[in-house]
Structure 1
Amino acid sequence: MTARHGSESFFIEGEGLVNTQVGGRSGDEPDPVTDPGAAGPVAKRADAAPPFRFSRVGPRGRTVPEPLTLAIADAMTKGGGGVGDIPAGYTYLGQFIDHDLTMDATSVALGTDISPAELLQGRSPTLDLDSLYGAGPADAESAKFYEPDGVHLRTGDTIRFGPDRAKVAHDLPRVGTGNRRARRKALIPDPRNDENLIVAQTHLAMIRFHNRVADKLPAALPPAQRFRRARRSVTLHYHWLLRHDYLARVVDPALVDDVFANGRKVVQPNADPTSLPTMPVEFSVAAFRLGHSMIRPVYDWNRRFPKGIGFLDYMFQFSALGGDLGGEDRLISNWLADWRRMYDFPTGGHPGLAGPDGFNRAQRIDSLLTDPLKNLPPSTFGGGAGIPFDDRRRNLAFRNLTRASMLRLASGQQMVAKLRAEGVTVRPLTRAQILRGSGGADLSGLTAAQKDAVVARTPLWLYVLREAETGDGRLRGVGGRIVAETFHRAMEGSRFSLLRNPGFTPVHGRGTTFEMTDLLFFALGGKTGVNPLGGA
């Protein structure tokens, strides 16, 4: 069965790959991305491709035999390796960012060999927030995301449940006709942001941030000018938050500082700053899948679903893409986010906003995924209801590793060599670090030949997660460099860019500080807004 290769989420695929047979062209066929002179149908296909493109920044690697892929995937889905020090909300901010940067819209069976030139990038590979704004209110297709004034983004209301009354502007806008599932659909530019409840509530917070920023501008401004000024302010605050808050939590801060001070070495280092970036497959298929290891099996979500009750499965059920909103047409109010439980507000400069048990911490960034990710609901990847429990096609690690093999993604060792050739100092992982790690996936069950193969050519996703777990739980070395440089290039190529506005300082936070807690506090209206159900 052939299904879409893409529309995939940062975590669970929106429409996925079902056929697990490895096939396609031989390993000796030239890749049009790394071999510009390559002829044939693939090269012709690239000529006709849309302007948003994938690319390689490293060399082409080899496919990984399916038995080895499955053995590694099984080892990686034995249960999460414990909690880290990052507030759990950043897991889903990362998913929102991923959907702002990349969407593979290619139709191809899982296991089919493919090159980056053949992939269809359905999202602008910049940090322009097109997943929030679409093409803007002046565009006929995107106008539906906006209020009639052409300035504010639309929101939706929740449904009362018991003592939790209906809340205005606390759900994504939902419209539709016909069957009930159609009526549940979120009216947002990227439907993947309604895949689970946490990313849906994050997207809603971004809508409300834009609307609050627009409210602060003079009402007498012409609508087009007011919208543009609001979008510029929102985008620059977003860039600031990514640069100074998000990146430093998931990547070695010294590496981030180096990239933003001294420039890029491998991700389009000589690009015209105002040209449209491409999306490195090493980022989208490997390094930025760091968030998969951060997912918790259960969340302390709100006063109705506190510690030990907010299961990950519920987070999918009470969305419209991953579930059915609990059978309703809109979100019911008892599932509203208590953001105090997802972010550390007191440490972020907002005393008095601690959750009753503090805040959820994300799983440590390492080579282990929490148990539920071994058995994705078939509906999340278009697989149908007939795929049995524990089938490899439901294993997220297997799907990630297979996708990398399909693309002949560079190995960790190849990327070390590439970085060193470009003058980057990077320490390669040792055999022991690759095979044993530090509290991550246990590869002792591999055969001797499989162990030798993994040490010689470690799948890039596994490699960057091993780098993190054998350090301080942040990406470093190969993984840190790919992520930091891709963010830098995406920010550089954005319409409104922090890099081209070095004098910008945020005005909607605490002085010159602007973190995710500041965005939520400002966007949602203070203490009541970040905990709409009230109570402890």
Structure 2
Amino acid sequence: MKDLDQNLKATCCAPGHGATGFRDIVKLACDNQRTGTCNRAEPQEGTAEFVFGRMVDMMPLDQQPSKEGCEALAAVMLDDEASAEDGPADAGIAFLGQFIDHDITLDATTKLGEVAGAVTKIRNFRTPALDLDCVYGNGPEVNPWLYEPDNRLIFGRGPTERTGPDENPLDLQRNVNGRALIGDPRNDENLFVSQVHGRMFVMGHNNNMERLSDIADAEDRLHEARAELTWEYHDRILHQFLPAVIHEDVLTPMLAQAHNMHLEDIGRLSWANAPAMPVEFSAAAFRFGHSLIRETYKLNDNPDRAEVRIFAREADAVKLDGFAPVEKDNNLDMGLFFGPGAQKSRPIDTRLPAALLNLPDSVATSDKNLAARNMIRGHLTFKLPTGEKMAEWMEAPLIDTHDKVKDAGLEGRTPLWFYMLAEAEQHGGKLGPVGGGIVAGVLLNMLIRAHSPALRPYRGV
């Protein structure tokens, strides 16, 4: 298990498929960004551990959906709260997906609506591997404020001047300004991902440290505890997250392939040559989780507390703002978010709750429609292929043009993010061949490249 931990921490040196090294697997697109990495006959020299890449050819701006068209399409994506439906996934899956996203990708340099240029020159500030660096940072020697002297992660304890009877033992460690001291500050941007980070992963590590107390050396115990938590994390992705969001017809054969430590090509997509962090995934496919978000949630079994809104407004009694201490009364009952007694997420479809179509100032001071932001970012910043073009690349069945796309004047130029949501509408609220193929392919490829023990033995869906 210690070897697994070391392998996960050093993905730039990890072996990939066969005898090929990670530096050879992660091919780079050429600087003009026209050619994707999956269709190059010869790999381009370079490394891409901390940058982005392309899976397919970019589309020129004159072939992209317009900003006005994206905004018009986003404006008709409102879900009717009165008739909102439950989807197949547990409510917590949306926030587990947000945690996964924060573990593998962070673009802190591009600007919404401005052309990004060469994506292979854009820094990814997270390691493109499922290694929990968002929890562990760079270890106790580099980030000592995350750790107790015995290498447990600090949790549930604020600065001395705030410690008292009102301190929440299930909240993240915080500084005097109330900001969480964690490996990735984005995991405190809302109550739900904050509790997933702390309750599942920080507490998970500390529980492992307690159970491994017979290992005398604190550094060895840290390595073993991290390796076991990482394995549990991979297992959760394989057997909880992916089956909840991807249709079984898409996922089942890909899981079987991953068990054999190799993914077959999908159409013209070569997984052996795929970049570690494709912009098609980070800027479109893995943003499907916004469709899972409910307008309201029940937090716990407090009889005096009804469901609360995802983004509280001034008139709401319960405030769930992120980047602030969590009150004890707002601690999540995890059984209401995962498992047989859980609330359900929304189905993945072409609708979003009102809260995401009019973001509060604490989240965005301009361009407050999250759907529009997703599509503008994908197509005007990164020049992604349209949904129709991506389906062609993947040799997937082309879905009929959605009525909302027609009304927005975008026929033949469906934004990739919207296309995958529309595809999911036809697959029972789960991602179909295009969306599911990209999401499963990228995550499973990461597990294959890490030689994750979670892939063996294969247990099916």
With normalisation by structure 2, the TM-score equals 0.80
CA deviations over 1:325-374 (Å, ceiling 9, x no partner): 3xxxx322111111222223xx3xxxxxx4xxxx3211111011101111
* 1:114 corresponding residue in structure 2: 117
* 1:23 corresponding residue in structure 2: none
Evaluate the alpha carbon distance shift between residue 305 and residue 314 of structure 1 in structure 2; reply closer, same or farther with a 3 A threshold: farther
CA distance in 1, matches of 2:394, 2:405: 27
* 1:400 corresponding residue in structure 2: 374
* 1:502 corresponding residue in structure 2: 456
CA deviations over 1:192-248 (Å, ceiling 9, x no partner): 000000110000011001110111113343111111111111111111111111100
* 1:174 corresponding residue in structure 2: 174
CA distance in 2, matches of 1:64, 1:394: 19
Given that 2:77 and 2:351 are in contact with CA atoms closer than 8 Å, whether structure 1 keeps it comes out as yes
CA distance in 2, matches of 1:48, 1:169: 46
* 2:149 corresponding residue in structure 1: 148
Matches within 5 A, 1:261-300: 261-262=256-257, 263-265=263-265, 269-271=271-273, 278-300=276-298
Q: Structure 2 residue aligned with 1:487, among 422, 443, 453?
A: 443
CA distance in 2, matches of 1:397, 1:54: 22
* 2:23 corresponding residue in structure 1: none
CA distance in 1, matches of 2:368, 2:91: 24
Structure 2 residue runs without a partner (length 5+): 1-29, 38-43, 160-164, 258-262
Per the TM alignment, residue 87 of structure 1 is displaced from its structure 2 partner at its CA by: 1.3
Identity of aligned residues (%): 31
Matches within 5 A, 1:206-355: 206-262=201-257, 263-265=263-265, 269-271=271-273, 278-304=276-302, 308-314=306-312, 317-321=319-323, 325=324, 330-344=325-339, 347=340, 354=341
CA distance in 2, matches of 1:443, 1:79: 19
* 1:530 corresponding residue in structure 2: none
With normalisation by structure 1, the TM-score equals 0.69
Given that 1:58 and 1:414 are in contact with CA atoms closer than 8 Å, whether structure 2 keeps it comes out as no
Given that 1:115 and 1:407 are in contact with CA atoms closer than 8 Å, whether structure 2 keeps it comes out as no
The residue identity in structure 2 corresponding to 1:199 is V
CA distance in 1, matches of 2:48, 2:436: 29
The residue identity in structure 2 corresponding to 1:59 is D
CA distance in 1, matches of 2:105, 2:413: 26
CA distance in 2, matches of 1:270, 1:415: 18
Aligned residues: 404
Per the TM alignment, residue 58 of structure 1 is displaced from its structure 2 partner at its CA by: 1.9
* 2:92 corresponding residue in structure 1: 89
CA distance in 2, matches of 1:303, 1:407: 44
* 2:65 corresponding residue in structure 1: 64
Per the TM alignment, residue 135 of structure 1 is displaced from its structure 2 partner at its CA by: 1.4
CA distance in 1, matches of 2:215, 2:154: 21
Per the TM alignment, residue 445 of structure 1 is displaced from its structure 2 partner at its CA by: 3.9
CA distance in 2, matches of 1:503, 1:445: 49
CA distance in 2, matches of 1:254, 1:479: 13
CA distance in 1, matches of 2:303, 2:448: 41
Per the TM alignment, residue 118 of structure 1 is displaced from its structure 2 partner at its CA by: 3.8
Structure 1 residue runs without a partner (length 5+): 1-29, 38-45, 160-164, 177-182, 348-353, 388-392, 421-425, 436-441, 505-511, 516-536
- CA RMSD between the two structures: 3.1
Q: For 2:89, what is the secondary structure of its paired residue?
A: strand
CA distance in 1, matches of 2:378, 2:31: 15
Per the TM alignment, residue 281 of structure 1 is displaced from its structure 2 partner at its CA by: 1.0
CA deviations over 1:404-438 (Å, ceiling 9, x no partner): 11211011111112112xxxxx221023xx22xxx
The residue identity in structure 2 corresponding to 1:56 is R
Evaluate the alpha carbon distance shift between residue 305 and residue 283 of structure 1 in structure 2; reply closer, same or farther with a 3 A threshold: farther
CA distance in 2, matches of 1:73, 1:65: 12
Per the TM alignment, residue 49 of structure 1 is displaced from its structure 2 partner at its CA by: 9.1
Given that 1:145 and 1:188 are in contact with CA atoms closer than 8 Å, whether structure 2 keeps it comes out as yes
Q: Structure 1 residue aligned with 2:393, among 408, 411, 418?
A: 418
Q: For 2:437, what is the secondary structure of its paired residue?
A: helix
